[in-house]
Amino acid sequence: MRSSLPDFPWDALAPYGDKARAHPGGIIDLSAGTPVDPTPEFIQAALREASNSPSYPLTAGTPELRSAIITWAKSRIGATGDFDVLPVIGSKELVAWLPTILESKKILIPEIAYPTYHVGALIAEAESVPVEIDAKSWPSADLAWMNSPSNPTGRVHSVEEIKDCISWSRANNSVLISDECYFEFDHTAVSTSVMALTAGDNTNILAVHSLSKRSSMAGYRAAFMVGDSSLIAKIRELRKHAGMMVSLPVQKAMTVALKDDSHVAEQRGRYNTRRETLRPALEACGFRIEFSNAGLYIWCTRDEDAWISVDWLAQRGILATPGSFYGDKGKNHIRIALTATDAAIDQAVTRLKA
């Protein structure tokens, strides 16, 4: 099975990184969506204060963290009815291992998507089936992923589209997992959580959230799920055996991070300013921007092979990601991450104008 794992796609980008690095002004890396803005000081302080940590942490999370997640889920994403929560070691870990934990055999993934959905299916030796956003067209399966706002497109699902996903889950008695890790970064569209649309019946429904981007905590590895209590109980039980617990200092840092919205609003502002700074410069160079209404990325095309666009930008010292990393349908698009400093984004604009 593991021999069937794809080559790590980022290796193919390395030569373009070298080309961009050779630019006299150095590289402006807009490829990986890895946050660069500092983790807010109060979150760092909570981690430091919890550094004396001799005992094992709870897989289920401390009562304080559980309560912070529950309060956040009710107030921020509109969760209702009976639901449970579970901290995880970053959402990538969950995406990669959940199909194995749930013993899924057939998994639907968005046709343009974060590659780890497919990798998770491979690890579970399951079949993965790329599907359109419209769930009315979905075949039956054990599990389906949806992702809004999307990586890489920045597209936001409409309420109707999410309701159709829920209807698919109910009609097939299948698990629907909504990856909402960019939920906090609205711009020209407002995101709705799957948890707000279940009318309190959360059977087979999970939402996944992450503090990596929300609170610039990617290095901490901090995420959580919210949803169907019996499903989460099953997942928690297996994780207890498998040792997949979030470290206690990170749990403390998550707790304070979730109780504060102001740093998130600041970060949202930063990303949206960067998007608006880059947008006209890319358009002036012939790129057509599609979706990109929320989240962390600009998704654009010049109707040419993605690698030609990547190469053109690399000559200017700017590194972008080819859309082909996210599925065949992305082969003429590139993804530009807004995870660079304001100064780097301004510099990219200057280079594009030149």
Ligand X SMILES: Cc1ncc(COP(=O)(O)O)c(C=O)c1O
Beta strands 318-319; 297-301: pairing state: unpaired
Look at the block and give the residue holding tokens 């080819």. 322
Query: How far, in Å, CA of 328 to CA of 63, rounded?
Result: 44
Q: Which of 39, 104, 147, 339 binds ligand X (CB under 6 A)?
A: 147
Per-residue contact string for residues 259-298; x = within reach of ligand X by CB under 6 A: ----------------------------------------
Judged by CB under 6 A, which stretch of 47-55, 91-99, 269-277, 324-332 contacts ligand X? 91-99
Q: What's the burial of 78, exposed, middle or buried (CB within 10 Å: 0-12/13-18/19+)? A: middle
Q: Which of 39, 59, 151, 301 binds ligand X (CB under 6 A)?
A: 151
Sign of CA dihedral 333, 339, 340, 342: positive
Q: Kindly list the strands in the beta sheet with 175-179, ordered across the sheet, starting from the edge strand earlier in the chain.
A: 84-88, 223-227, 205-210, 175-179, 143-147, 106-110, 127-131
Helices 91-101 and 116-123: crossing angle in degrees, nearest 10, is: 30
- Minimum CB separation from ligand X for residue 23, in Å? 26
Toward ligand X, which CB reaches closer, 39 or 147?
147
Q: Which of 91, 104, 128, 198 binds ligand X (CB under 6 A)?
A: 91
Per-residue contact string for residues 208-247; x = within reach of ligand X by CB under 6 A: --x-x-----x----x------------------------
- Minimum CB separation from ligand X for residue 147, in Å? 5
Toward ligand X, which CB reaches closer, 120 or 317?
120
- Minimum CB separation from ligand X for residue 183, in Å? 11
Question: Does 339 contact ligand X by CB under 6 A?
Answer: no
> Token pair for residue 261?
């919205």
Judged by CB under 6 A, which stretch of 15-23, 90-98, 135-143, 304-312 contacts ligand X? 90-98
Which is nearest to 89 in space by CA: 189, 218, 188? 218
Judged by CB under 6 A, which stretch of 10-18, 89-97, 196-204, 271-279 contacts ligand X? 89-97
By CB under 6 A, the residues from 26 to 55 that bind ligand X are 33
Q: Assess contact for 210 and 78: CB atoms under 8 A.
A: no
- Minimum CB separation from ligand X for residue 263, in Å? 17
Query: How far, in Å, CA of 273 to CA of 112, rounded?
Result: 26
Toward ligand X, which CB reaches closer, 33 or 227?
33
Which is nearest to 261 in space by CA: 40, 56, 85? 40
Q: How many residues bind ligand X (CB under 6 A)?
A: 14
Toward ligand X, which CB reaches closer, 91 or 292?
91
Per-residue contact string for residues 105-124; x = within reach of ligand X by CB under 6 A: ---------x----------
The upper half-sphere exposure of residue 229, i.e. CA atoms within 13 Å in the direction of its Cβ, equals 9
Q: Which of 50, 60, 85, 95 binds ligand X (CB under 6 A)?
A: 95
Toward ligand X, which CB reaches closer, 33 or 327?
33
Q: Which of 35, 90, 110, 330 binds ligand X (CB under 6 A)?
A: 90
Which H helix or E strand runs over 47? helix 41-49
Question: Does 92 contact ligand X by CB under 6 A?
Answer: yes
Which is nearest to 180 in space by CA: 101, 262, 72, 106? 72
Residue type, 22: A
Q: How does DSSP assign 29-43, residue by residue?
A: E-SS----SPPPHHH
Interacting residues of 295 by C-beta distance below 8 A, sequence separation 6+: 149, 150, 151, 154, 182, 185
Per-residue contact string for residues 152-191; x = within reach of ligand X by CB under 6 A: ---------------------------x-x----------
Binding site for ligand X (CB under 6 A): 33, 90-92, 95, 114, 147, 151, 179, 181, 210, 212, 218, 223
